[in-house]
Amino acid sequence: MSDVQEFQTRPTDTSKAESPLEWSLHEQKSLPHASNPGVTLSEKPFLGQLIVRGGAIVLDEAVREVMDMALPAKPHALVSDDSGERSIQWLSPDEWLVIVPGGEEFELEQKLRKSLGQSHFSIVNVSGGQTVLSLKGNRAREVLMKSISYDVHPQAFPVGKGVSTVFAKATIILRRPEENGWELVIRRSFADYCYRWLLDASREYGVSVVR
Amino acid sequence: MFYILCPYCKEHREEEEFHPRGQAHLMRPEDPDNTTDEEWGDYLFFRDNPRGIHHEMWVHSVGCRKFFNITRNTVTYEILETYPMGEQPTITADDPSVRHEQGAQVADGGWQTVGARPENTALNEETSS
């Protein structure tokens, strides 16, 4: 058993939590709504996010045992479970981002720590530090082409890939879990900036924001 | 702009994702307590500034956040190879083919013309006036 102190960061009482995008959405009198939107933007707030670091072999064993998923070993690989709600993404040769539905992350962390025992690893709960934006629609790729220097052509960026790169000078993690949907994992402090940038960049295609 | 192959991501990425971190392969003196001031000063403060092949450390600060090494030609800015930490470069300034190809090499040639090999070395020799 690991001797690291763990604690539940998610409040268990009924106190109101605000997602990183809450302020930006609140500031707008009404959310953008296009009749025939080329781009649909929505936040997936309050997901459980863990940064898991360590050797690939021991982590793979633990993840298989606890989550019943294989750890993606290839660079930039992104694997999801059948429901698409739990995903593991390769970030660097010894670092992975695990995203699970909100509320599951603490139990998952405990299980992983128990399974990993005394091996050399680190698990950090980053749920409060970043949020996931979902960008959908047939013009979503064109919005990304304007905003990042990374190649988002389907040949270079197939479904099941995720990279961390520069988005309008901010650092983000860009993922493509499905054919017509992209996910942007953005930092809390950059949430308003990225949101406004996305709105501005997608205005010409018609944009709807869904809460 | 450089288009740099990260040896950990195994992909070419834009230069804006990277940061240069100075000369590579610096070795900390084995026994700091018993090194001379000169050795310690060299280790801490003095860096090579070659004309031609240079081995540099870079960090993929936006991507995988790993350090790695780049062999770069400081005259043409060409990146000759990138390799992970702990490995030795396959291309060095001592490589005879590199020396020939680069024309203007490190200071021992004595050429003062920036960027190109002069048509004849006499141009750079001191003339008695």
Q: Count Cβ neighbours within 10 Å for each residue of A96-123 and write b for 16 or more, e otherwise.
A: bbbbbeeebbbebbeebbebbeeeebeb
Query: Is it the case that residue A211 has pLDDT exceeding 90?
Result: no
Cβ-based contacts of B67 with chain A (< 8 Å): none
Looking at residue B104, its pLDDT comes to 47
Cα separation, A59 vs A52, whole angstroms: 8
With contact defined as beta carbons under 8 Å apart, do A161 and A175 qualify? yes
Q: Is the predicted ipTM greater than 0.85, yes or no? A: yes
Its sign, for the CA torsion B78, B81, B82, B85, is negative
Domains defined for chain A, CATH in brackets: 31-45+130-211 (3.30.1360.120), 47-126 (3.30.70.1520)
Looking at residue A12, its pLDDT comes to 82
Residue of chain A with shortest Cα separation from B65: A92
Backbone phi and psi for residue B45, each to the nearest 5 degrees, phi listed first: -115, -25
Residue of chain A with shortest Cα separation from B10: A75
Cβ-based contacts of A164 with chain B (< 8 Å): 62-64
- Which tokens in the block code for residue A46? 């309050």
Looking at residue B95, its pLDDT comes to 78
Query: Is it the case that residue A186 has pLDDT exceeding 50?
Result: yes
When pLDDT is cut at 50, 70 and 90, the band that residue A2 belongs to is: low
Query: Is it the case that residue B62 has pLDDT exceeding 80?
Result: yes
Cβ-based contacts of A149 with chain B (< 8 Å): 14, 16
Any idea how long chain B is? 129
Distances (CA, A) of B114 to B110, B117, B125, B127: 11, 8, 15, 20
How do residues A71-115 score in pLDDT, each as one tens digit?
999 999 999 999 989 999 999 999 999 999 999 999 999 999 999
Q: Which CATH number fits domain B3-103: 3.30.2270.10, 3.40.140.10, 3.30.360.10, 3.40.309.10?
A: 3.30.2270.10
Looking at residue A1, its pLDDT comes to 53
CB contact under 8 A, B63 and A150: no
SS3 A150: coil
How do residues A111-141 score in pLDDT, each as one tens digit?
999 999 999 999 999 999 999 999 999 999 9
CB contact under 8 A, B66 and A93: yes
The alpha-carbon gap from A8 to the nearest alpha carbon of chain B, in Å, equals 28
How do residues B107-123 score in pLDDT, each as one tens digit?
444 444 455 555 566 65
